[in-house]
Homo-oligomer: A and B are copies of this chain.
Amino acid sequence: MLELRLVQATLFKNVVEALGDLFSTAHFNSSRTGLELQAKDNSRVTLIMLLLRAEAFDHYLCDRGLSMGLNLAGMAKAFCCTNNDDIITIKAEEDWSDTVTFTFESPEDGDEISYFHFDFMVINGVPLEIPEYPESEYQAIVRMPSAKFMPICNKLSSFGDRDTVVIISVDKESVDFLSRGKTGTLTIFCRETQTVDKPKEPTLIEMKEKVSLMFDLRYMNSSKASTLSDQVTISLSSKLPAVFEYKITEMSCIRYYMLPRNEGR
């Protein structure tokens, strides 16, 4: 049996929206330690994972692991008219039921309660166990404010189209984003924040080796994830899937795992 409660709907709604924009279905896997969402694109180039640890919930009861396939896009659409300050309760019975119920209640006015019952779906592919590599395995790690990364993605998107690819190149003290469109080329150059400037949210680059990798812009441009977190951490290596991580709270994060594209494709 699963019974979770979040006193503020915002986080869960934003996460579902952020993921529902890109993926139509997702695995919701609950365990004693937390709730995990996993979604993959059809070509299996991108895998997105959201971790909400048990401590992030106001009430967390999960006596046995439960894996639910759900229509993520339908959930995102359904939740869009609920209030951000509603209390959410998530309930599922492992044994006999094939639905999960999300209950939205206003904290003030208990006179109106919305019960969303979602049917479980069969989703191709099992949820993956994703190994967490230590930072030292990556050739370069870039940390920058989401408020800086999001407009960069928007510029690259405006320049190109849905199928645009972006080359991210990291050098000792800078990172470059390059995109080719029908009209020409856009290069956005970002320098590492100088220590003398000391802003609250610096751009930091740790480079062991120069690296230059190509990605689908579509999955990079997760503007909704950017609103959930102040900082994005981009871990790059030519030998591992790249990770774009948004830490939401100490207990939660969204990670986009992306296989770099080959130039030749």
Residues of chain A touching chain B, judged by Cβ–Cβ distance below 8 Å, are 71, 74-75, 77-82, 99, 110-119, 148, 151-152, 154-155, 157-159, 181-193, 203
A159/B112 contact (C-beta < 8 A), A117-B185, A186-B117 known: no
Contacting residues, chain B, for A119 (C-beta < 8 A): 183-184
Are B114 and A155 interface neighbours, CB within 8 A?
yes
How many copies of the polypeptide does the oligomer hold? 3
Task: Let me know if B183 and A113 touch, CB within 8 A.
Answer: no
Contact partner, A75, options B114, B152, B183, B189, Cβ 8 Å:
B183
Say whether B114 contacts A186, CB under 8 Å. Answer: yes
> Is the beta-carbon distance between A112 and B188 smaller than 8 angstroms?
yes
> In the complex, which of the residues A79, A113, A184, A193 has the most CB atoms of chain B within 10 Å of its own CB atom?
A184
Task: Enumerate 15 A-B pairs (CB-CB under 8 Å) in ascending A order.
Answer: A75-B183, A78-B186, A81-B154, A81-B157, A81-B158, A99-B184, A111-B203, A112-B148, A112-B152, A114-B187, A114-B188, A115-B187, A115-B189, A117-B186, A118-B184
Min C-beta distance of A195 to chain B, whole Å = 13
Are A158 and B78 closer than 8 Å at their CB atoms?
Answer: yes
Cβ–Cβ < 8 Å partners of A184 in chain B: 74, 99, 116-119
The residue of chain B having its C-beta at the shortest distance from the C-beta of A187 within the complex is B115
> Closest approach, in angstroms, between the C-beta of A110 and any C-beta of chain B?
8
Inter-subunit contact B112/A183 (CB<8 Å): no
Given A81-B157, A112-B189, A115-B187, 16 further pairs, Cβ under 8 A: A71-B182, A71-B183, A74-B184, A77-B158, A78-B155, A78-B158, A78-B186, A110-B191, A111-B191, A111-B192, A114-B187, A114-B188, A115-B186, A116-B185, A117-B184, A117-B186
